[in-house]
Chains A and B, each alone.
Chain A
Amino acid sequence: MNAKANKNQVTSIEPAYYQAITEAIRKEAVQILKDETVVGVVGYLPGRRKGTASPALVTTVEEAEKLIFSPACVNNLSVYLTKAKKGVLKQGKVGIVAKGCDMRALAGLMTESQLQREDLFIIGVVCPGVYGFGVERTGTLTEANIARKCRECTVHMPEGSDVAAGTHTELADLTPEEAEEMARIEAMPQAERWAFWKEHFSRCIRCMACRQVCPFCYCEQCLCDKNRPQAVESSPRPAGNMAWHLVRAMHLAGRCGGCAECERVCPMDIPLNLLNRRMAQELKELYDFEAGLTPVEKGPLNEYKENDDQSFIK
């Protein structure tokens, strides 16, 4: 958690703020490419359509000078290091632009031996938030177009990065929509909760975009693709859908950094991040664990204390 005293609360975040970060990222990226600290930098380039951004691996100074940061930079870039651009790490140290939620994922991946800190040069971004989906992209971030996950972000400051770009600024008075939604679901009678999730999961088409985009779904063979034995039915039918999402939530428990990419990419608008947040909340309450910005030795479900809560056990 950041010290309240140092942060700046505003009602809108203007393009100039992002521009300043963009400049800082470019400067740093150019520098580390020039002095060959890194073989490439994973960051964002402007998208083809105006107001968009797309992840990219830049390897030359010329490209690095085109890197940007804007509210459209929604993607969690950590996934590029373990999946899409996995090979690049073999060639040497890699720079990566990281928002708070990306940092969490990087820390988690380091905890799980998927990345080594010394292989990375992390350009941290003091991120005030990014766009939600289906919102108006004016270049200015406001209460109206900020993403749901960013409303309750606790990791604006990318502590643990090699350099940090930006000054701590947050939108003021954001309603915690996710927390409210979680509370609403928790307050439902049990049958209604079941109906709520059943409806959502029944829409799932098992496109696996959630898995694809998740930095933690890096298994070479997913349990849910296995057929001897088949633990989770693989066709998009309600039984398998339910099992898939429960297994995924369980596998992410204690690891998920809350980037909510799964929810963003879901074509069927299933509120997947709620499941992950619920698990995070439980692990915080039970074991005081929070996915942080630095790697830990063991995640909460890989360790134990002799006096852990067992009130549910007879």
Chain B
Amino acid sequence: MSRIGVFVCHCGENISRTVDVEQVAKAAGEIPGVAYSCDYKYMCSDPGQTLLKKAVAEHKLDGVLVAACSPRMHEKTFRKAAEAAGLNPYLCEMANIREHCSWVHEDRDMATAKAKDIVKLMVERVRKGKSLAPITVPVTKRALVIGGGIAGIQAALDVADAGHHVIMVERDPSIGGHMAQLSETFPTLDCSQCIMTPKMVDVANHPNITLYTYSEIEKVEGYIGNFQVTVKHKARSVDESKCTGCGVCMTKCPKKKIPNEFDQGHGMRPAIYVPFPQAVPNTPVIDRENCTMFQSGKCGVCAKVCGPGAVDYEQKDTFTVEDVGAIVVATGFKLYTIDRKPEGSPIQGYGEFGYGTIPDIIDGMTFERLASASGPTGGKILRPSDGKEPKQVVFIQCVGSRAREKGISYCSKVCCMYTAKHTMLYHHKVHDGQAYVFFMDARTPGKGYDEFWRRAVEEEEAVYIRGMVSRMYQRGDKIVVMGSDIQVGTQVEIEADLVVLATAVQPQDGADLLAQKLGISYDKYNFYSEAHAKLKPVECATAGIYLAGACQGPKDIPDTVSQASAAAAKVMTLFAKDKLERDPVVAKVNEKYCVGCFACKKVCAYGAIEEKEIRDRQGNLVKKVAYVNPGVCGGCGTCQATCPSKSIELDGYTDEQIMAMIEAL
């Protein structure tokens, strides 16, 4: 760059009060290579910008420096102006002589001297600058949604409704997730299945949604706009294309006493089954572990009774590869259990509550099933051990949650509300029963939430006891609950018929393995990490992957749905253009000198660096070098600082630019 223009701004009096801008402009004009310099009252104003454009044309400037405010303020403004004048926008830089100079110093001489220095440094930066072209990446306008709970369903429907194709992958035989298991939902107490099942059907019927249930993610390759995802379709043993969903196989299956996972093990199902009557798809799956045919080779009843001949014992796992441009991760949660944990596990069980051996100590989800009209008791609250109606029910909050001694320090966020809901459901169903709740804090922020909790206390007569339970043991057919009421300052002992534990929300099993496949980060509990806690709560740090629901942290249904729609909006934003354009501040590899030590790859937080083979004309491998995928590179430059031979370089912050600035110190 040999014809640089320097424009010094007064910013009204903001700069000129403490900095002698004329002197700065004059000094700038004397720097070799500066072809033009001037000062002006308001560079960012229309006349100021016109001044800049004119000067570029008149003086044939090939680089522009505006000495004014912080680039965080007006860099875009001036780059646009420079572009309008026919310059590459990246050849326009700003020298910050306001925030970093005139506003923070009062001595006019020293501030002026500093301003001159800043201009001198930045002139060097402009001099060594390069024209950069925005990077474009093609976008495949198909989205993958992992997980078919309410989060995945919402995200999938939103994206599909916007006209883009969606692939939904669900691990279980049916979509619906945890929400399908719930009886009623806070704070309105509407029936969960009533609001959930229509959405499930929508997914199944949507022309833009391809639904893969009983399937898992095998492998993920590619980057934003261009992922290749291998999906594993686990053998269902039932041909989905033939099955009519008549259900005869299930009624005829001789093996019927298998605890039903959907009912938390309290109801029974056959070996060929759909998890629940409203399942989507309504195609059964054979549980091979429990099927007599698979275990001993003798049975085959389901195949015999199936009219369309859909039962297929020979079915194998199959794989498909899907090209997608964006991925929404909505894998949800699981509930903590109080059982004894394997040795060395960071999470501990509750020995003081009997390690889960007392049958009438159940968790919240089991209570949901007991309260659900479609549940194993038909909606009657009956306790598991003897089927009696419990008259004294103790609810305990924060089991696992907020217990760093058990390995979980966080608050599970939903338990306060659902416990309040449980006390109401219980009171509605067992009028002469009494509910007690041991709690530490009632955390009920949310629209209508605190009112809901107060209703449980004031109208539904739940007795809330501020304190925790130290021990529970079976005595006769009662469970003795030893707790304390810290407000009264005494111990409390309750002989309960049933105890319901609000157990912690934990990430799904295998969340870490999926994260590793996706190349996204997760916290020490295996919850997925968002790119920014405040401003990018939906995005992953890995571009093109978005989070929805409890896989990112405990969430209730409204929050989950909001985040799912937000994730869908992010996907749609990405899909709004045919090509993805992004800031060209990315790293490039000098393949001539790269020796392939891949230190850059090791430090890259984005996984943007790949190994590339260089071959000669005969096709023989000459060497392996690093290759930066510009679509993925975040532009931090850690790779360049790490590279011993500096064979990788970050555009916009090249060694040449930086060294030139240091030389000018």
Contact = CB atoms under 8 A, between A and B. Distances in A.
A228 B656 contact: yes
B596 A113 contact: yes
Contacts of A299: 599, 602
B644 A219 contact: yes
Contact of B647 (A221, A251, A298, A302): A221
B595 A220 contact: yes
Contacts of A230: 659
Contacts of A303: 602-603
B616 to A, nearest CB: 11
B602 A302 contact: yes
Interface string A210-252: 0000000011111100101111000000000000000000010
Given A221-B593, A226-B646, A302-B603, A112 B598 contact: yes
Interface in B550-597: 592-597
Contact of B597 (A113, A221, A222, A229): A113
Contacts of A229: 655-656, 658-660
B624 A220 contact: no
A19 interface: no
- Residue of B597, B598, B602, B647 ringed by the most chain A CB atoms within 10 A: B597
A230 B624 CA distance: 27
A218 B602 contact: no
Contact of A301 (B594, B596, B642, B647): B642
A308 to B, nearest CB: 14
Interface in B88-115: none
A223 B647 CA distance: 9
Contacts of B659: 229-231
Nearest to B658: A229
A220 B642 contact: no
A298 to B, nearest CB: 5
B645 interface: yes
Given A112-B597, A229-B656, A231-B655, A220 B602 contact: no
A303 B611 CA distance: 19
A232 to B, nearest CB: 11
For chain A, what secondary structure do more than half of its interface residues adopt (helix, strand, loop), or is it mixed?
Answer: loop
A114 B644 contact: no
B596 A220 contact: no
Contacts of B624: 113
B660 to A, nearest CB: 7
B656 A251 contact: no
Interface in B601-640: 602-603, 611, 624
A226 B647 CA distance: 11
Interface in A299-314: 299, 301-303
Contacts of A223: 644-646
A302 B641 CA distance: 11
Nearest to B594: A220
A220 B645 contact: yes
Contacts of A113: 596-598, 611, 624
A279 to B, nearest CB: 14
Nearest to A82: B595
A149 B611 CA distance: 37
B598 A251 contact: no
A230 B603 CA distance: 25
Nearest to A298: B602
B645 A221 contact: yes
A153 B643 CA distance: 30
A223 B642 CA distance: 12
B642 A302 contact: yes
A113 B623 CA distance: 11
Nearest to B622: A90
Nearest to A302: B602
Given A229-B659, A229-B660, A222 B598 contact: no
B642 A219 contact: no
Contacts of A222: 645
Contacts of B646: 223, 226
A228 B646 CA distance: 11
Interface string A91-116: 00000000000000000000011100
Contact of A219 (B602, B645, B656, B660): B645
A230 B659 CA distance: 8
Nearest to A231: B659
B267 to A, nearest CB: 44
Interface in B53-95: none
Interface string B177-209: 000000000000000000000000000000000
A303 B638 CA distance: 12
A113 B609 CA distance: 14
A229 B598 CA distance: 23
A218 B595 contact: yes
A302 B595 contact: no
B647 A114 contact: no
B593 A112 contact: no
A222 B647 CA distance: 10
A112 B660 contact: no
B402 to A, nearest CB: 22
A229 B662 CA distance: 11
A255 B598 CA distance: 14
A296 to B, nearest CB: 10
Nearest to A112: B597
Contacts of A251: 644
A230 B593 CA distance: 16
Contacts of A231: 655, 659
Interface string A149-176: 0000000000000000000000000000
Interface in A268-314: 297-299, 301-303
Nearest to A225: B645
Contacts of A302: 599, 602-603, 642
- Residue of B594, B598, B660 ringed by the most chain A CB atoms within 10 A: B598
A301 B600 CA distance: 11
Nearest to A230: B659
Nearest to A254: B599
Contacts of B597: 112-114, 218
A215 to B, nearest CB: 12
Nearest to B598: A113
Contacts of A112: 597-599
Contacts of B642: 301-302
A248 to B, nearest CB: 10
A228 B660 CA distance: 10
A219 B655 contact: no
A111 to B, nearest CB: 9
A231 B642 CA distance: 15
Contacts of B602: 297-299, 302-303
Contacts of B655: 229, 231
Contacts of A114: 595-597
Interface in B384-422: none
B443 to A, nearest CB: 27
A251 B658 CA distance: 20
A303 B602 CA distance: 7
Enumerate the 10 nearest inter-chain pairs by beta-carbon distance, A residue then B residue, closest first. Answer: A229-B659, A219-B645, A302-B602, A112-B597, A221-B593, A298-B602, A251-B644, A229-B656, A220-B593, A113-B598
7 contacts: A113-B624, A219-B647, A220-B645, A226-B646, A228-B656, A231-B659, A303-B603
Given A219-B647, A299-B599, 8 more contacts: A112-B597, A112-B598, A112-B599, A219-B644, A226-B646, A229-B659, A229-B660, A230-B659
